[in-house]
Structure 1
Amino acid sequence: MVMRFWLFTIFVVIPVTVLPSRAADTLDLRDMAGWRIVVDDDASPAERYAADEFHDLFLKVTGHDLPTVREIGESDGNIFIGAGRALEYSSLDYTMKQDYAPEQLRVVVQKDNIAIVGGRPRGVLYGVYQFLEECLGVRFLTRDHVHVPRLESEDSGRLQEVDFTFTPPLTYRMLYYTEVMQDPKLSARLRMNATGPGMLAKFTDTQKARIGGYVTGYFLLHSIGSWMGDYDADSDPAIRALQKDGKRSPRQFCMSHPKVIRRVTANVALSALKHGKGATIRVVPEDAGRCECERCHGIADEYGGAHAAVVIKLVNDVARKVAMVRPDLTIGTLAYAWYRKPPENMPVESNVRIQYATYHACQRHPYDRLSCPTNVDTVHDIRTWRTLTDDLCFWHYSVNFNDYLAPPTNLDAVASQIRTSVALDGRGIMMQGPGSGLNCPFADMMMYLMARMMWDPGDSPTALREQFIDLHYGAAAPDIRRYLDLQRRTQRNGEGHSNCNGPFDEFGLSVELGRKGIEIFEQARAAAATQVERDRVEKASVGAYRLALGHLWYGKAPDDMSDTERRDARKIAGRLFELCRMHDVRENREGQPVRVAAQRLRKALDMKDGEAF
């Protein structure tokens, strides 16, 4: 029997494999033309969809168009997708004699039969994808690129007998990229089991059922204002947060004010009666500054100066009230911005979920670098929160909100973000990318890398990145690799510990990197063997063109900029915006269309409105 399990330390995830005690028999894919796919009459929609996915991709790899049946006429040559009566009376019946967790999967390959089983709702579907990837070499790279290998040698078509069980360490996995959120098929193939709240209403019940539905309750958005309802704050301004300038905040509430506590608690408790079993109710401050009143400062001082104490005190009050009427519900809140620091010795109620947002973390450096004081502090905060609650999840960032078109800045940090979250028993991760900013530079690669790492933190980020580059860029891969290696070296030599809102040079990126990158991408484009590869190279090159414009991108032209430099900048900008149109690159920063960046550049270069670059 082959098993894989994980040894976790704070920063290292080590895969350990226990090998069979005897030489395994093999199964030749070329000899499987007469096999059949077996699905029970009582299979769930996700299990039926799993059988369809298996059929279609197995056909592409092997050329075998296997029939899907409900009953078996032969004891051999069966691929059981999910549990059922046929499996119960087969040689693999023992796979049904245990309970499986909702996403736990088990793949058993024998010389005469195969079984892919697991928990509901998604274990079997994910088991099929695991088989397709690990046994057949299929790779789900992007929305429109599934790598399907060919059986080129005798060895490549042989499967060893194996009994493999895997349970993903994270209950909740979400990529906040529109490319994934709007596509249930891609989401399932990447084993991302959550989507944005706004997307759920767009999918039919059939679409959701066939991928096993979505996990909810971990994306904890700001909500205090909604719980205050139509309360007239103008007639009672003290319920608003006191700002440093002495004015009252138009957005934030004073969460220590007795009226706020009573109203929020009462409204949440009333709402609790209407929620479904096991739901999560969000009680989260608005995305604005903290209250500076004496009462809030007094609570913070009582718990080590951490203003999160004000939030947790309110949330604990709400949680206790809700537990009296609906003990099955969870109250969710954030640890974010001014309330990210954990309060000293302040227990969190057992029915409260904390989502720690790494907004202030350094994007450039891994979490295990002593040379990065910002991330050392971040990990310390996470550890402390973990001592206060057993229900901790994460809101990570893989984005620069002010600069969507710059290359990804967390190439060396993202694996440690995920592994640290898992090692500290985090229940889930939402990785926020550019949201509606479709087709940003190397976003496809980052989505693939992060999805694979969230599913299996033991994977090698370097191997995953190299694999994506080779398969996606083909003949242009050596040049793409050369650019990314140059970017990583440039970033390592830079200074600063910027979060997800900094200017490009605080991440170690530079104009020189952009200009050199343009040269490399032109070589990659020339090396590409097909138009598809050239298109992929062009889309990735957007980041280099943007870097070559430096601070001009922010609308700032140097005082001593020469006419020659202006002409050069216009040429680079013209090509950049041409690439954006060609490859549907829509936003240049959060909520801002690319055309706004074009207007900003024209102004910086003393051009007329609408003038061609």
Structure 2
Amino acid sequence: MKGIFGTITILAIAALIFVFFHLSPENKGNPGEKKGSPSSGKGSTSPATPLKADTLLGYLVKDGKPWGEVVGNEDAHSAEIFAAKELCIWVEEMTGAETPLNYEPSTDKNLKIFVGKSFASQWKSELETLSKTDGFAIRRKDNNIYIFGDRPRGTLYGVYAFLENNSEIIWARPNFSFGTVFGKGPDFKLEKVEVLEKPVFKLRGWNICSLRGDKATGVWEMRNRANLPVQTPVQELDSIIPYGGFEGLLPSQVAKEYFKSNPEYFAWDKFQKTRSTGAFCLNTPGLPDIVVKEAVTAISKMPVRPEQADIGMNDTWRVCHCEECMKPIKLKDGSLLEPKDATSEKDPVFRSTQYFMFMNKVAERWQKTMPDIELTTLSYIYAAEPPLCELNPNLRIMFAPYPTNNERLPLLHPDQDKVWRTRFEKWGELTKNLAFYQYYSPNMRHLAKTASIDLRQLQKFGGAGIVSECGPDVPKLGEGSFHPLSYNWDINPIEPWVLNRLFWDPNQDVDALRKYYIKRAFREAAPAMEKYYSLFLSGFEDPNDKTFTNCHASDSNVFRIFIVDKNLEEPCRNALIEAEQTAKNPNSLKLIQAIRRRFEMISDSLGRIMVANLPEAEKAGAAFDSPLWEKLRKLDEFKVPYSAAIYGKKSNEATEESELRIMNDGKNLYIRFIASDKDPAKASASALHENAESWPKGDHAEIWFKSGNILYTFAFDCNGNKYDAKNWDKTWDSGWRLKTRKTKDAWEAIAVIPLSDITDIGFKKEDQKTRLKSFFLREYAHGSKFPEESSFKGGIILKHYYELILE
């Protein structure tokens, strides 16, 4: 499980806190996170018209002027101070009015918004309801509004809810540059004030894989009501700070020290005849005490006491094969659980029971030592199997359904793998302290509906919450967000937002949440984007489609199966184009452009080449200088295949560029090939032999087509010698035509190939489109003994084909 909670060391925690203090939102260039802080009591904020004593103000800002102030407590937790600042900053971003932030309420007859628990003493019933939760309340008394929670992050969530309820703002994705979308106007009208909300689940988080300390993603999580941004803890915002990681009973550096002094603590591998730090010998006397002792020592050195400690197994099937660990396990009823196999893959029940009996001992000692810190452990790989022992009620189980469940189906769905149905049911019976460890990373998979059903079932089990893996939204340095770590956010920003809301309350309607997001994030372009998502979801959520997907499903496969194969690609593309054309809000436009960019990247990754149908090709297609060629897509991504990057060549960049343009008229395929060459006179080939049929030597090009089990080969050189073959039989003659020429900076060729000769057997026609696998290669020789090969997209001959789709 790549990217599972890694061990968060003391140094890493300290570094993250340093990052937050020195790169806090007030010091970054994101709207709402600009330099400086709101003013403190500048000028009057009373309405221009004197108020009667009983007049209720309906605006915080009216006609570009503040009618109120925000009141904070400068001695409060930093999360509440941050919340008060955020309220002022975002209101100013939306209205242009600078609403004062005061730490003592002014005497003005204006609207006052009090932020924080210290102002909420009169709301005793609400505070009792919110006690020991992350919930929040917004209450109004006359012209005073109170936003508060029982704990600081509850107040923070309340401020964001207040902003959302009374404006059109949405924190659509983490990206500080364009991830927040809102409209601008002179008024901030109070539409919805009285609110009280509590989360269903205590634990709501994302494990940000691939990058620790990604501040933008951590802040986005807190703005959208998550509380455990794993690997990106935002201590200043009162996020949960965890100790340790689910990948080991001890931090790796501690394990290495013990391995030197006490190798018997570690798993014996009878097949390799050795021990390693990858797993523990769970029957080692005193090991539970050592685990707790090391955790206590590490926690005492942390700058902030954690709320949660994550102690668990490594990301491995490895287990101990020593004599003690292979003995039968005595169960509570006196029966013996016999091992059926030495490996955990073949005997998960035995190994899971062994593991959780060990963790029960750890939990027992933990409660005596650090009862204020929640202890969690991962139910993963073999430990996903429910054990045949009781569980310590203070041990939180993070159930990871990975990787053989079909994530398009709820875990208890009749068509789900029976193993996972049974496991989830048994875990629900075994413990009320159950949470999910999931894999909802935002790529092309839209899993909110399935997740909502599973989360509602978890709620019925009395479960504690969910943590899901997710990639960070890390922008490329410079313009845009075109960076591998943010690709998933580019193509699918909506789903993490919807999932965050479901983590708070899974009983919400998924379709309504999606519409809410689309309306706010895309604004004027919302109708087109609703069309786009409706099209895609009609494929991915089709109940009649039984396609299996899991967290390892590639974007390209999802795209092919649920978009291309369902004939949704062009309608989806057209909807995105329409959205780009209708978007007016600059951040909405950037969100759409990111989706469109990634959409086209995935489309291109399928290795397809669209071939235009031009009836006039028969007359103009054989002419080098025909303007018809300029209408066609230029295919110039020729690279040296990595498998052929030999003879000291370290890069896969070709020495010279190559270019293809292709069209058809329903009868013939017209291919123009341009082989750029700084010195085309040195391009070497045999003298032209009109009637000879031999493989071209020297500077030449090759075209390969595959139709079923039939392989067609066309090759030609810079002098016009040509060769064709069918399944390597060169006596076959396709009747194709070729012409070549040399220019001052290239040699060129036009090949005209009859479609009837290459589409005779086993050829697919779908939706009136002809499809044919193709491969294009150039050999750059110049008389060298070691010529250079380059191919379209760097593909390997007879291995990588690119689909020609003839319109």
* Equivalent position of 2:433 in the other structure: 391
Other-structure match for 1:594: none
- Tell me, yes or no, if structure 1 residue 457 matches structure 2 residue 506: yes
SS at match of 1:116: strand
- Aligned residue for 2:281? 255
| Alpha-carbon distance, 1:189 to partner | 1.2
Q: Kindly indicate whether residue 68 of structure 2 is the aligned counterpart of residue 35 of structure 1.
A: yes
Aligned residues: 526
Q: Could you tell me which amino acid in structure 1 is paired with residue 225 of structure 2?
A: R
- Residue from 525, 536, 556 that aligns with 1:484: 536
Which residue of 328, 333, 351 corresponds with 1:298? 328
Alignment map for 1:239-278 (pairs within 5 Å): 239-242=266-269, 252-253=278-279, 255-258=281-284, 261-263=285-287, 265-276=289-300
CA distance in structure 2 between the aligned counterparts of 1:511 and 1:76, rounded to whole angstroms:
56
Partner of 2:424: 382
Aligned pair partner of 1:356 in 375, 384, 399:
399
Q: Say if 1:511 and 1:547, in contact at 8 Å, map to a contact too.
A: no
- Counterparts of 1:607 and 1:373, CA distance in 2: 34
1:84, CA displacement in angstroms?
4.1
Partner of 1:580: none
TM normalised by structure 2 equals 0.56
Question: Aligned partners of 1:254 and 1:94: how far apart in 2?
Answer: 50
- Higher helix residue share: 1
Alignment of 1:114 with 2:145, yes or no, is: yes
Q: CA deviation at 1:335?
A: 1.0
Question: For 1:351 and 1:464, how far apart are their aligned partners in 2?
Answer: 34
Distance 1:222 1:35 in 2: 53
1:434-474 CA-partner distances (Å, limit 9, x unpaired): 46832225331221111121123232211222333344455
Q: Which amino acid aligns with 2:507?
A: G
**What SS does the aligned partner of 1:43 have?**
coil
| Worse-matched range after superposition: 428-437 or 446-455 | 428-437
> Alpha-carbon deviations, 1:72-106, whole Å to 9, x = none?
31465211112446x76xx8798778874352211
User: Percent same amino acid among aligned pairs?
Assistant: 17
Which residue identity is paired with 1:465? R
Could you give the per-residue CA deviations for residues 15-42 of structure 1, whole angstroms, max 9, x where no partner exists? xxxxxxxxxx993566583211111342
Q: CA deviation at 1:510?
A: 1.9
1:427 corresponds to 2:459: no
Q: Which residue of 2 aligns with 1:59?
A: 92
Aligned: 1:285 with 2:313: yes
Distance 1:469 1:599, change over 3 A: farther
Once residues 502 and 469 of structure 2 are traced to their aligned partners in structure 1, the CA distance between those partners, rounded to angstroms, is 15
Residue 336 of structure 1: CA displacement? Answer: 0.8
The amino acid of 1:461's aligned partner reads V
Rg comparison, structure with higher value: 2
Equivalence map 1:159-174=2 (5 Å): 159=191, 162=194, 164-174=195-205
Q: 1:607 to 1:505 in 2, by over 3 A?
A: closer
In structure 2, the CA distance between the partners of 1:444 and 1:484, relative to structure 1 (3 Å rule), is same
Letter matched to residue 220 of structure 1: F
- Measure how far apart 1:147 and its partner are: 2.7
Structure 2: which amino acid aligns with 1:159? E
Q: Displacement, 1:337?
A: 1.0
1:103-502 counterparts in 2 under 5 A?
Answer: 103-110=134-141, 112-142=143-173, 143=175, 144-149=178-183, 157=189, 159=191, 162=194, 164-177=195-208, 181-183=214-216, 184-197=218-231, 199-200=232-233, 208-209=235-236, 211-216=237-242, 220-223=246-249, 226=252, 228-231=255-258, 239-242=266-269, 252-253=278-279, 255-258=281-284, 261-263=285-287, 265-276=289-300, 280-291=308-319, 293=321, 295-296=325-326, 298-299=328-329, 302=336, 305-344=349-388, 346-360=389-403, 361-374=405-418, 377-399=419-441, 407-408=444-445, 410=447, 412-434=449-471, 437-440=485-488, 442-473=491-522, 474-475=524-525, 476-488=528-540, 492-501=543-552
Question: How far apart, CA to CA, are the structure 2 residues paired with 1:505 and 1:54?
Answer: 41
Q: How far, CA to CA, are the matches of 1:395 and 1:569 in structure 2?
A: 45
1:132 Cα deviation (Å)? 1.3
- Alpha-carbon spacing, 1:386–1:569, altered in 2? closer, same or farther (3 Å): farther
Q: What's the offset of the Cα at 1:223?
A: 3.6
SS at match of 1:483: helix
Question: Residues 279, 569 of structure 1: CA spacing in aligned structure 2 closer, same or farther, 3 A cutoff?
Answer: farther
SS of 1:131's equivalent? Answer: helix
Normalising by structure 1, we get a TM-score of 0.72
Q: Letter of the 1:214 partner, please give it.
A: I
Contact 2:136 2:155 in 1 (8 A): yes
The answer (yes or no) to whether the contact 2:240–2:306 under 8 Å persists in 1 is: no
Cα distance change, pair 44–512 in 1 and its aligned pair in 2 (3 A): closer
Distance 2:131 2:712 in 1: 68
Say whether the 8 Å CA contact 2:250–2:291 is kept in structure 1: no
The structure where strand makes up a greater share of residues is 2
Give, as a single letter, the amino acid of the residue that structure 2 aligns with 1:266: I
Structure-2 change in CA distance of 1:387 and 1:561 (3 Å): farther
**Secondary structure in 1 matching 2:152:** coil
- Shift in Å at residue 228 of structure 1? 4.2
Q: Give the Cα–Cα distance (whole angstroms) in 1 for the partners of residues 793 and 358 of structure 2.
A: 44
Distance 1:134 1:250, change over 3 A: same
Measure, in 2, the Cα distance between the counterparts of 1:249 and 1:502: 34
